[in-house]
Structure 1
């Protein structure tokens, strides 16, 4: 596998990027990585240059750059050149910790959208309290709003990913809604429910409410980008708050609190690791002609390592070619879906 990496994206780049990539390279004998970025900053960090190539870049897309304008004007930015390498066939996938908006724009304008898919969706893997595999959810912010047939497209793509990369047999597909009944939600969600129910290729289990997301009841959750992003931020914020409150209760509880914390140390570590999604890898921009993966800007070297392994599994499983083949033979477009 040939991977193009934006080495300058993220809060702690290029240090964590290089450390994570080298660890993955050491475990994956077929992995070749091209690092796009400032060579003067990248080269001193590399311990072993085997199967690593540096392409020196003079520009970087900043977090406060307007995404579309940055993609069009910063032609020599590390993220842009990494995406261009995929378009030119020099790499199989592109990976960045940089701006989500810019990466989406680069994916759309450079890598290109799969024919038949209207809008790519951003899909992270989320934790579950009942298993170690978690679940995937899309869209979580690539689009401000969606139409019913686009949620069906998300379900199909998420289904392929859950089977190929997550190893889930017959993934359970659920629609995020404000009630479990089929007639719940606005007109768009009711229509999406109907489309999902009628698709024989999906194991659609119905609606799921937000308070059920972490209970392991679905393997793929589909939603519009606005709602998905709100749900994602709510889960992340609640997890951080609870862990912080537990820590404060122990440290402020005097001797008894500290002794209790000592006895519960193993359980608390297990709880913390349950909500540490770095081992799941990055968020996938599904709907593009090649894997385009976004890791959190504050990701550490471990998260980079797991994301590279995630990409390797995705390329090896030929997930994107399967999605392309499906949409070539199935016309899931508004005229047919919304008659």
Structure 2
């Protein structure tokens, strides 16, 4: 019988700080989030990363051999290393031994492994990487997709992104009536390139998508929109710029607030506020991106992720599992019977 606890397979060997930081984040999630953790990778390295007081009996270590390096072409690397940690982790989901995968390794390899081993959801032509960013309105976030899975897109891809994003926003982020926007250079329907103009028409004509119009760059973090869709090229540039701005703001606060005696006293008094500021703008607090559109839950974290970011990535995975994101996306497709999760385009072993 399937466990009621979310079972999360962690690519323990993926990322700049693997496996130590990945294991540390997974251990914290095991204690605080009530999830079952499967650490996938080199057993010896994983064991060496466990603190002496760790409850080893509560963990499951799944052996794997090697990882896909950042310089490797994803498909070539996956085929050349069938027992690489990301392949083994995806197979656990395919075999229903895990409910989700979290990886801070090669993002292209993670996406390719998800497509090869899990396949796409029925009715979805391309998966998208979705991230959640803070807005000017406290407590309100905006989901951006795609932020890197598809450099070139067709209008129907963006239409599918909008559908998946609105489902996630409603059922996971708790937005009762999500407002969807199309990233563009102007508010008018006639603005933008051919992709933007044709996509605008599709979104406007789709009664299932709560589309309210174009979103300019200044609108992204305004709180006016709950979901903003764009191609992966633009989305990736936007994401990295937003992360850089957040880092700059935090660095300026660290440098300027402690200046002088009054500054040090003020910094002490403002610590709770500064902590909340960090939680709102630091990308590590958001864990990573959800790969929407594949027949399995997959969280792609930053390569530089440390324990806090891994913890938050596992939290994202648990939320997606608990809120049955796959089933809800599939149910929103009028061409798929309600309550089913089918997949297509699964690669051969």
Structure 2 length-normalised TM: 0.87
Contact in 2 for aligned 1:131/1:216 (Cα 8 Å): no
In structure 2, the residue matched to 1:146 is 153
The aligned runs of 1:1-339 (5 Å cut-off) are: 1-29=6-34, 31-46=35-50, 47-250=54-257, 267-327=273-333, 329=335
CA deviation profile, 1:155-212 (whole Å, cap 9, x unmatched): 0001111112111111111111001112111121111111111121222111111112
CA spacing shift, 1:264–1:48, aligned 2, 3 Å: closer
SS of corresponding position for 2:213: strand
Q: Distance in 2 between matches of 1:319 and 1:263?
A: 41
Q: Which runs of 5+ in 2 are unaligned?
A: 1-5, 338-349
Q: CA deviation at 1:257?
A: 5.9
CA spacing shift, 1:70–1:128, aligned 2, 3 Å: same
CA spacing shift, 1:18–1:176, aligned 2, 3 Å: same
SS of corresponding position for 1:202: coil
Range 60-69 or range 218-227, more displaced: 60-69
CA spacing shift, 1:247–1:74, aligned 2, 3 Å: same
SS of corresponding position for 1:136: strand
SS of corresponding position for 1:214: coil
Q: Distance in 1 between matches of 2:273 and 2:36?
A: 39
Q: Distance in 1 between matches of 2:27 and 2:178?
A: 33
CA spacing shift, 1:266–1:325, aligned 2, 3 Å: closer
- Superposed CA RMSD in Å reads 2.2
CA spacing shift, 1:111–1:210, aligned 2, 3 Å: same
Q: CA deviation at 1:67?
A: 1.3
Contact in 1 for aligned 2:243/2:283 (Cα 8 Å): no
Q: Which runs of 5+ in 1 are unaligned?
A: 332-339
Q: Distance in 1 between matches of 2:263 and 2:327?
A: 54
SS of corresponding position for 1:5: strand
CA spacing shift, 1:307–1:133, aligned 2, 3 Å: farther
Q: CA deviation at 1:50?
A: 4.1
Q: Distance in 2 between matches of 1:51 and 1:195?
A: 49
Task: Give aligned pairs, total.
Answer: 329
